[in-house]
Amino acid sequence: MERPRHQGMAKNTYMRWRLPLVCLLWEVAMIILFGVFVRFGPEADAHWEEKKREMNLTSDIENDFYFRYPSFQDVHVMIFVGFGFLMTFLKRYGFGAVGFNFLLAAFGIQWAILMQGWFHSFKSGKILIGVENLINADFCVGSVCIAFGAILGKTSPIQVLIMTLFQVTLFAVNEYILLNLLHVKDAGGSMTIHTFGAYFGLTVTRILYRPNLEQSKDKQGSVYHSDLFAMIGTLYLWMYWPSFNSAISEHGDAQHRAAINTYCSLAACVLTTVAFSSMLQKKGKLDMVHIQNATLAGGVAVGTSAEMMLTPYGSLIVGFICGIVSTVGYVYLTPFLESRLHIQDTCGIHNLHGMPGLIGGIVGAITAAAATEDVYGKEGFIKAFDFTGPYQRRTASVQGGFQAAGIVVSLLMAFGGGALVG
Amino acid sequence: MERPRHQGMAKNTYMRWRLPLVCLLWEVAMIILFGVFVRFGPEADAHWEEKKREMNLTSDIENDFYFRYPSFQDVHVMIFVGFGFLMTFLKRYGFGAVGFNFLLAAFGIQWAILMQGWFHSFKSGKILIGVENLINADFCVGSVCIAFGAILGKTSPIQVLIMTLFQVTLFAVNEYILLNLLHVKDAGGSMTIHTFGAYFGLTVTRILYRPNLEQSKDKQGSVYHSDLFAMIGTLYLWMYWPSFNSAISEHGDAQHRAAINTYCSLAACVLTTVAFSSMLQKKGKLDMVHIQNATLAGGVAVGTSAEMMLTPYGSLIVGFICGIVSTVGYVYLTPFLESRLHIQDTCGIHNLHGMPGLIGGIVGAITAAAATEDVYGKEGFIKAFDFTGPYQRRTASVQGGFQAAGIVVSLLMAFGGGALVG
Amino acid sequence: MERPRHQGMAKNTYMRWRLPLVCLLWEVAMIILFGVFVRFGPEADAHWEEKKREMNLTSDIENDFYFRYPSFQDVHVMIFVGFGFLMTFLKRYGFGAVGFNFLLAAFGIQWAILMQGWFHSFKSGKILIGVENLINADFCVGSVCIAFGAILGKTSPIQVLIMTLFQVTLFAVNEYILLNLLHVKDAGGSMTIHTFGAYFGLTVTRILYRPNLEQSKDKQGSVYHSDLFAMIGTLYLWMYWPSFNSAISEHGDAQHRAAINTYCSLAACVLTTVAFSSMLQKKGKLDMVHIQNATLAGGVAVGTSAEMMLTPYGSLIVGFICGIVSTVGYVYLTPFLESRLHIQDTCGIHNLHGMPGLIGGIVGAITAAAATEDVYGKEGFIKAFDFTGPYQRRTASVQGGFQAAGIVVSLLMAFGGGALVG
């Protein structure tokens, strides 16, 4: 029952032993580290009945599982089907994109559970995990998938796995600096996921630059069915983005609000993408690549602010702007980056994640700085920004400043880390 | 990184400036109207902590978000992937169908939030939105997607956007008449979504009739991979239809019941579709178009009654009948409509949404008229039909009469509105 | 609007009248049996308001619908899209696989609701159904889809329907013996679904063996786009498997734990599959069939133990082993089965469901036998294994013995039933 194997997946795996060895050794390492460190959190442990009494919960439905599991599954689909199929538009890398994405994500989530666990869920020597850890691991890997979009077709599976190892590590450090040291809000990850992932990937691809790659441009052509497969990726990302931005927000109103803001921003983004795609093309035809990518920029750009009181019309404005910025980026900036700065951005992640991520960070900083007790309510204000304990006295404008600092830190980590890995 | 653009999406967009202008101006109008009118509802607002006390809720899990968000995401997939990919079976409109569907839906949901908001969620000058508004906006746009199925391949993107604007407006008016003035139940929208959408689209396509279109029949051929893509659309509609019919039902038993009834009806529908498709074709072969479409008729036809005590076997009977009606419609009625009445129904929406929608309205009227306190329980009876306030004295048989009136109103609105827009 | 019909779907449906007759008669039988037996369970019945008081529930959110509906929809996608598209990798059976799978599943879920209902939900002459019954019906049909994978391309639709009828019946009997008589835990169905389904299908295909089929091997070739479609099936199965294994676990920690264990096992499985696929192929290329199938073995193999305290590293170990076993099976065992034992396993279900199912049963028996009150907590221990009523005195090691007995019973039922049906 031998079946033909496709080039995209196979062409770079020329070394018979190296890939198996890396996979097996790393997986053994994961098992040992999980064995030493990872245990079930209280809500997934069989002692839950006793904990439930301690936590004063009256019903099983108050288990965090029921608050977050549906969103987790949506995020899971975004990472594996969304990002995977979005990259199938390239004629010759269709299967390779989906397959490599599958491999890097499956490895990445294990390493992410460990790295993020040490920083955020470490209690008396153990990492205690629950559904929120699974979502965060998926988020972390999402950032690697973004960076992978820049180097698609230029690396071997082993190089991709090594990049995953380092990027997940740096992601966790950056996330720790932002969320814990700067006490910044970034539930949908405009800064931690998109800005970091995009500029990390762009730095790596700049360093991997080889001029002769330009000649193989024919491989980058798209074909009819590839475009429909890519559209599956696009639509799943677009539809489930409200789950992405709300998945780890506070229970209740914050999750609800994050979903609504993201829904609005994405809807507006589609219209300006179509408008500018049509306007900037000869004869007013639409470019498939814009429809497949720029329509998603609205989701990226409310990643930080979606759980805040951005309001539905604020979200529409953000989506409106990002559809334009992203489409214009595909038309003018990507060719410029390639010809002048020698940055070959295969999937245009600078337009979809880089710039919208930066915009998202800025919108988040402004929205936070503009927050008032009047708009949020006294309790809501404290809850929204978690102004408790040592942060009890932080004001909205100070928070805005820290949010802005978060953007800078993410950029520096991305450039530094990317240069290191590249 | 120029990539080829496909004909389906591009052929009608010959006017370089008109489409961008319409998209941008309308989106600006949306931003202004959202800015003036749309705010977060109490369950998505940061004041939720205070409201929670007022509403006497003890846990964040009682936020409407957790009752409806999973169903919302399923409905979202139905609108964008389901309806979009169902229309890809046509050889040359594959990408155009998915892309235009994306554009019209993204615009439509914004306008629907406003129109439906003014009628249903308007409080002291503001439209207060929550997850239920998002579902209703998706529903409203679903009705436009249905109508789009009749005119697929005959219109430019601008015409589609204009049709969307008018149809959403009329949908909201019709819905207001049915739900508020007639106090009719229609959670899954057999009348408001399917009957209205289908006959609206058929009226428009009748008016757009151009005889020479018949000659381009080769474009309507399907190809192998198109059929697999269309099957993705079919299956997502089929699988998520229980969520569609239960998404805005009352919390608790009504949502539960609506999902079960829809599941049963759809299962039965598949068997009669296969039976009649095989029976009516030469040599007993199955027609792909029947499998892709008629199998869904069972979901349409329990749209009104699914949340009532239709019972599982009642649902099987409805599904049984609709599989037959819909398949027979594809074989005999569609050619008849085209040759005699000059109605070119590209996707056969009359068979999938028109007739099953009417049947759904009738089944709903009968089920309502047959309701008794014995079957529903005293409290359940009042809750199921919301016989409170001014409707306290309405009886089951009177309700049945109003349900029947709802069918007639929907039909009249569809014919009138379709003629106007066409 | 005649469209071409594809061979895969059509080639076996040569008998014009038989298929329609079987479909119609069976559906009529379903209606009659549902009419006599099936009613809404208390949580889906309009009397719920009264029951809620009886059951001492304070909120509608405690309706089982909200605990299980999101998982149900994920399982639904696995059965219809997952299993359906996984089988599209064959060049000429693409559409047939999806279409037949649709037909058999739609019939099977109705019959499963009845069969499982008589055994598990029968109260005072009626089968009372709720969302859990829908999940169980989907599970039961999943077992048929697995068996269908072995005989794909060798049978007519009618034969498939007849196999479905018998297999569902035997599934329900086997499930009754395991869950009720042996009091075995098997929430994710390693034994009841995978072991039973796989060995049932293998026995049937052994009996259907016709040597000349070997010559038509060219039909089994895969093509580029088929592989991308199959990857849709793979990914949806992979992503939603945590929902599969947790869907019918106890509320609260058990569902939470089952999802985490499955997530971990599947992640590890991807790495060892890639490693061994690369290692065992000439030139280190990856075989698509391994990526599409063996990556899922980790989900199968924690089907019994996922809801137990398997721990995350335990899950990694199980996934690690199963990726290896399954890939090695594809390379060495499938050709051996075909050439020596005359078992033509079209989709390699022995490697994906057979062996991993057996491993899953064994892991479950060991995990149960190793359970202690220390690890589970006093209450948790009783809750996890339902050691109440007549099972109050059962110990962990006795439970382990019964779990092992469950494997043997499933195997015997599969061989016996398969021989009968074949």
Does residue A2 have a pLDDT over 60?
A: no
Structural contact between residues C332 and C129, judged by C-beta atoms closer than 8 angstroms? no
Q: Do C251 and A61 touch (CB under 8 A)?
A: yes
Q: Which two tokens stand for residue B358?
A: 């009417």
Contact C327, C280 (CB under 8 A): yes
Q: What is residue B151's predicted lDDT score, i.e. its pLDDT?
A: 85
Determine the pLDDT at residue C301. Answer: 94
Is the model more confident about B207 or about A241? A241
Q: What are residue C128's DSSP bridge partners?
A: C39
Distance from CA of A259 to the nearest CA of C (A): 17
Q: What is the DSSP string of C46-110?
A: TTHHHHHHHTT--SGGGSHHHHHHHHHHHHHHIIIIIHHHHGGGSTTTHHHHHHHHHHHHHHHHH
Q: What is residue A51's predicted lDDT score, i.e. its pLDDT?
A: 87
DSSP string, B107-152: HHHHHHHHHHHHHHSEETTEEEE-HHHHHHHHHHHHHHHHHHHHHT
Q: How many CB atoms lie within 10 A of CB A218?
A: 8
pLDDT tens readout for residues B313-325: 999 999 999 999 9
Helix (H, G, I), strand (E, B) or coil at B267: helix
Closest by CA to A47, choosing from B174, C256, B228, is C256
Cα C85–chain centre separation: 15
Give the per-residue pLDDT at A216: 44
Report CB contact under 8 Å: A235, B98.
yes
Asked whether residue A311 carries a pLDDT value surpassing 70, the answer given is yes
ipTM for this prediction = 0.91
How many CB atoms are located within 10 Å of the residue A281 CB? 18
Query: What was the pLDDT predicted at B8?
Result: 42
Residue C270 is encoded by which pair of tokens? Answer: 């991807």
Least confident of A5-9, C230-234, C279-283, C284-288: A5-9
Structural element, H or E, at residue A269: helix A253-280
pLDDT per residue over B167-191, tens digit each?
999 999 999 999 999 999 999 999 9
Give Cα separations from A273 to A263, A270, A303 (angstroms).
16, 5, 19
Per-residue pLDDT at A159: 86
Select from A203, A201, A28, A229 the least CA-distant residue to A110. Answer: A28
- Render pLDDT for A82-118 as a digit per residue (tens, 0 to 9): 998 888 776 566 667 888 899 999 999 999 999 999 9
According to the model, what pLDDT value does residue C219 have? 44
| Distance from the C273 Cα atom to the nearest Cα atom in chain B, whole angstroms | 28
pLDDT attached to residue A211: 65
Beta carbons of C304 and C190 less than 8 angstroms apart: yes
Q: Is the pLDDT of residue C329 over 60?
A: yes
Whether the CB-CB separation of B231 and B73 falls below 8 Å is answered with no
Q: Compare all CA atoms of chain C with the CA of B323 and give the residue at the minimum distance.
A: C24
Between CA A246 and CA A71 the distance in angstroms is 8
Q: Chains contacting A with at least 3 CB pairs below 8 Å?
A: B, C
Using a 10 angstrom Cβ sphere, with 0-12 exposed, 13-18 middle and 19 or more buried, the burial of residue C221 is middle
pLDDT of residue A6: 44
Q: Tell me how many residue pairs between chain A and chain B have CB atoms under 8 A apart.
A: 224
Rama region for B286: left / alpha / beta (φ>0; ψ in -120 to 50; rest): beta
Is it the case that residue A421 has pLDDT exceeding 90?
no
Q: What is the pLDDT of residues A190-218, one digit of tens each?
A: 999 999 999 999 998 888 877 655 444 44
Tell me what pLDDT residue A221 has: 47
Q: Judge whether B304 and B186 are in contact, CB under 8 Å.
A: yes
| pLDDT at residue C104 is higher than 60 | yes
Ramachandran region, residue B220 (left: φ > 0; alpha: ψ -120 to 50; beta: rest): alpha
Q: What is the C-alpha end-to-end distance of chain B, expressed in Å? A: 40
- CB contacts, 8 Å: A316 with chain B: 27, 30-31, 34, 110
C88 Cα to chain A: minimum distance (Å): 14
* Span C157-196, pLDDT tens digits: 888 899 999 999 999 999 999 999 999 999 999 999 999 9
pLDDT of residue B173: 93
Alpha-carbon distance of B303 to B353, in angstroms, equals 11
More confident residue, C97 or B11: C97
What pLDDT was estimated at residue C322?
94
pLDDT at C289: 86
Burial A367-390 (b: 16+ CB within 10 A, else e): bbbebeeebbbebbbbbbbebeee
Closest CA to A329 of A350, A346, A343, A345: A350
Q: Could you give phi then psi for residue A249, rounded to 5 degrees?
A: -65, 165
Res A8: pLDDT? 42
Q: Which band of pLDDT confidence, cut at 50, 70 and 90, is reported for residue A3?
A: very low
Residues of B in contact with A235 (CB under 8 A): 80-81, 84, 98, 102
Q: Per-residue pLDDT for C127 more than 50?
A: yes
Tell me what the pLDDT averaged over chain A comes to. Answer: 87
Mutation test of the interface with chain A: which of C62, C89, C263, C321, choosing the one with the most A Cβ atoms within 10 A?
C263
Q: How far is CA B320 from CA B76, B129, B266, B323, in A?
A: 27, 38, 9, 6
Min Cα separation B323/chain C (Å): 11
Name every residue whose Cβ is closer than 8 Å to that of residue A411 and which is 6 or more positions away in sequence.
A195, A199
- Chain B residues in contact with C34 (beta carbon < 8 A): 264, 312-313, 316
Does the pLDDT value for residue A42 go beyond 50?
yes
Strand partners, B127: B38, B122
pLDDT tops 70 at residue C56? yes
User: What is the tens place of the pLDDT at every residue in B235-253?
Assistant: 999 999 999 999 999 999 9
In angstroms, what separates the C-alpha of A158 from chain C's closest C-alpha?
A: 11
C252: alpha, beta or left? (left if phi > 0; alpha if psi -120 to 50): left
Q: Give the span between the Cα atoms of C43 and C49, in whole angstroms.
A: 9
Domains of chain C by start residue, with CATH: 67-421 (1.10.3430.10)
What DSSP element (H or E) covers A71? helix A64-77
pLDDT of the residue at A92: 60
Residues B279, B283, B287, B288, Cα dihedral to 10°: 130
State whether residue B56 is helix, strand or coil.
coil
pLDDT band at C94 (very low <50, low <70, confident <90, very high): low
B–C CB contacts, 8 A cutoff, strictly below: 226
Task: Find the closest chain C residue to B225 by CA distance.
Answer: C225
Question: Which residues of B are less than 8 Å from A286 in CB distance?
Answer: 5, 9-10, 13, 99
| Chain C hits for B76, Cβ within 8 Å | none
pLDDT tens for B125-156 read: 999 999 999 999 999 999 999 999 888 877 88
